[in-house]
Amino acid sequence: MKQLETDVIVVAAGLSGLAAAISAAENGASVIAFEKANTTGGAANMGMGPLGIGSNIQKHQMVSLTPFEAFRKHMSFTHWNVDARLVRDYYAKSGDTIQWLEEMGVEFFGAMPAYAAPETMKPYATSEATWHVVKPIGGGLPGPRCAGAMMKCMTERAEELGVQVLLETPVKKILVEDGKAVGVIAVDKNGEEIEARGKAVIIATGGFGANPQMLKEQTGFEWGKNLFSFAIPGMTGDGLNMAWEAGAGKTPVTIELMYQIPDNMAHFAIEGAFRQPCLWVNKLGNRFMNEDGIPNTTFTGNAIVAQPDHVCYSIFDAKLLKHYKRNGPDIQSHVHPHDIYQQFDEAMKAAFAEGYEHVCEADSLEELADKMGIDKEGLLKTVEEYNEDCDNHYDSLFDKDRAFMQPIRSPKYYACRQYPGGYGTLGGIKINHKTEVMTDEHKVIPGLYAVGVDACAIYGHTYPFILPGNTMGFCLNSGRIAGENAAEFINE
Ligand SMILES: Cc1cc2nc3c(=O)[nH]c(=O)nc-3n(C[C@H](O)[C@H](O)[C@H](O)COP(=O)(O)OP(=O)(O)OC[C@H]3O[C@@H](n4cnc5c(N)ncnc54)[C@H](O)[C@@H]3O)c2cc1C
């Protein structure tokens, strides 16, 4: 067995792992990061940008939100059901972390809200301008994967500081002696075991979004049936299982919930085209929310979970499609392409040709109900009532924004199934505000830290999309906090 020795061992070189490694090295520690994949960056390579509050960018944009205002919003949103010290420390650090990233060469488009909530939903639904969207390598527009540029800069910074990143070398076990974390066992790409000894171990393995069995056990969702998440290979819950085996306490685990069509990245234009405030019904044909609220993907995900079989359908007709094609989407997501309706006919043709079963077009509402598996009588009754409300310019059921009250009565009809979706899992390992791992009895396990989504139990039941960029924000800042505390612990 190969032997290694260092000050700080970081288990994974994704977003929070790299933040922890850089911060420990900046504070004088020698660091080895073990990474399971053949590249660094983890799920963050897929995203767009982190939260920051009080950053210089926001000051230049005259965004006045302070860390304490965000803290109060967060704590009201979660009903104080989470660790206030950890939330406070995270937001207090988050503005400085944006500058810290800029110093590494990360460039941002600016700070923006993720969506605009309708007036009637504002108190708990309005998104603040906290999302610092990263400029992609080589320029271009904001969009999925642009945060890859941030991961590249962070990887380069870690290397510059002498952090040893061992790729394709998953950690299998945390070594605990006399109640203290003293190292790890890893396996390199040739299958050789490595025993690495260190004075502190930081776990950062990104949750278990790609482990259907753990998803079912821990959250009740069945992947591919009533949950379609970004199951990024490698996110199999290793950190949680190793930490629990080492004596860590457990927190509740949730999904970072949103909604999506199955295999959405392969049908991205279609997903964007149907993510509009048209007519949304459940399997019974009943409306279940005011559709102007769908830009809040978390609230909409929750609403879909509350429907029979966790599924709903968004429906529009030929007249509405013509309106979208002419004027663009009623709601422009920051994520989907700008020209979704220019791509629509081709994308639908391709989807039908490959037998993709989650969209349909039909000459009648009856045919649409049959094709999608919606209760026919329920749908016809709903459409009749909805069209009458549209004619009266008033949504008597949910008070939806009048601008979006467009009747559904001009064939062809188009529909798409929407399911709960998830970016990944949140929580599992119990930590305190210093990111030290604790037992169920709140006793610190000396030398053991956990960061990122493995330890992110600060959202309670629902992801606070009101402060967007929050998972990357937590991952970066918990990583920085852990690196600083681990370096201090070693010096003590
Ligand atoms: C499509 C998409 C878009 C997103 N967009 C945003 C956004 O714009 N803003 C935002 O705030 N959040 C966004 N997120 C969420 C955010 O990217 C993640 O929450 C964040 O990257 C998680 O960071 P982490 O460090 O906990 O895990 P990750 O960054 O996923 O890193 C985990 C790492 O652990 C490694 N690993 C696993 N097991 C082991 C092991 N046994 N040994 C060694 N290494 C191991 C993995 O290979 C991986 O590299 C998005 C997520 C997705 C999927």
The DSSP line for 292-361 is GGTTSHHHHHHHHHTSGGG-EEEEEEHHHHHHHHHH--SS--SSS-TTHHHHHHHHHHHHHHTT-TTEEE
The minimum-distance atom of ligand 1 relative to the CA of 474 is: 11
Report in angstroms the alpha-carbon separations of 256 from 33, 164, 359, 423, 472: 26, 31, 25, 6, 12
CATH H-level, domain 2-253+427-491: superfamily: FAD/NAD(P)-binding domain (3.50.50.60)
Residue of 32, 35, 263 best suited for mutating to test ligand 1, as the one with most atoms within 8 Å of CB: 35
The conformation of residue 461, written as its DSSP 8-state character, comes to T
Please name the residue whose Cα sits nearest to atom 31 of ligand 1.
Answer: 14
User: Quick one: which of 178, 233, 176 has its CA closest to 205?
Assistant: 233
The minimum-distance atom of ligand 1 relative to the CA of 470 is: 11
The minimum-distance atom of ligand 1 relative to the CA of 172 is: 41
- CA 467 – CA 162 distance, rounded (Å): 34
Please name the residue whose Cα sits nearest to atom 17 of ligand 1.
Answer: 44
Residue of 39, 46, 185, 481 best suited for mutating to test ligand 1, as the one with most atoms within 8 Å of CB: 46
The minimum-distance atom of ligand 1 relative to the CA of 50 is: 11
Lowest mean pLDDT among 141-150, 314-323, 382-391: 141-150
Residue 221 carries which side chain, given as an amino acid letter? F
H-state helical runs in 354-457: 365-372, 376-391
pLDDT at 126 over 80: no
Average pLDDT of 428-452? 98
The pLDDT score that the predictor gives to residue 48 is 94
User: How many angstroms is it from 145 CA to the middle of ligand 1?
Assistant: 12
Residue of 155, 264, 423 best suited for mutating to test ligand 1, as the one with most atoms within 8 Å of CB: 423
Phi and psi at 416, nearest 5°, equal -150, 140
The pLDDT score that the predictor gives to residue 132 is 97
pLDDT at 127 over 90: no
User: How many angstroms is it from 479 CA to the middle of ligand 1?
Assistant: 12
Tell me the average pLDDT of the chain.
95
The minimum-distance atom of ligand 1 relative to the CA of 479 is: 25
Please name the residue whose Cα sits nearest to atom 32 of ligand 1.
Answer: 206
User: How many angstroms is it from 162 CA to the middle of ligand 1?
Assistant: 23
The minimum-distance atom of ligand 1 relative to the CA of 18 is: 25
Please name the residue whose Cα sits nearest to atom 9 of ligand 1.
Answer: 469
For residue 157, the SS3 value is helix
Q: List the domain boundaries for the chain.
A: 2-253+427-491, 258-421
The pLDDT score that the predictor gives to residue 332 is 78
Please name the residue whose Cα sits nearest to atom 37 of ligand 1.
Answer: 205
Cis peptide before 434 (omega within 30 of 0): no
Average pLDDT of 95-117? 91
Please name the residue whose Cα sits nearest to atom 42 of ligand 1.
Answer: 170
The minimum-distance atom of ligand 1 relative to the CA of 454 is: 26
- CA 217 – CA 237 distance, rounded (Å): 12
Which fold would CATH assign to domain 258-421? Flavocytochrome C3; Chain A, domain 1 (3.90.700)
The minimum-distance atom of ligand 1 relative to the CA of 14 is: 31
For 306-328, the pLDDT digits (tens) are: 999 999 999 999 999 999 999 99
User: How many angstroms is it from 11 CA to the middle of ligand 1?
Assistant: 13
- CA 314 – CA 358 distance, rounded (Å): 11
For 160-189, the pLDDT digits (tens) are: 999 999 999 999 999 999 999 999 999 999
Residue in the structure block whose two tokens are 């026919």: 376
Report in angstroms the alpha-carbon separations of 2 from 5, 34, 196, 250: 10, 14, 8, 32
Average pLDDT of 234-240? 97
- Positive or negative CA dihedral for 377, 381, 386, 388? positive
For 344-373, the pLDDT digits (tens) are: 999 999 999 999 999 999 999 999 999 999
Name the strand (E) or helix (H) holding 417: strand 413-426
User: How many angstroms is it from 457 CA to the middle of ligand 1?
Assistant: 15
User: How many angstroms is it from 285 CA to the middle of ligand 1?
Assistant: 37
For 259-312, the pLDDT digits (tens) are: 999 999 899 999 999 999 999 999 999 999 999 999 889 999 999 999 999 999
Average pLDDT of 10-36? 98
The confidence band for 119, taking pLDDT boundaries of 50, 70 and 90, is: low
The minimum-distance atom of ligand 1 relative to the CA of 453 is: 26
Burial of 192 (0-12, 13-18, 19+ CB in 10 A): exposed
List ligand 1's pocket residues with C-beta within 6 A: 11-12, 14-17, 34-37, 42-44, 46-50, 144, 170-171, 204-206, 230, 234, 238, 423-424, 452-453, 469-473, 475
The confidence band for 120, taking pLDDT boundaries of 50, 70 and 90, is: low
The pLDDT score that the predictor gives to residue 114 is 80
pLDDT at 121 over 70: no
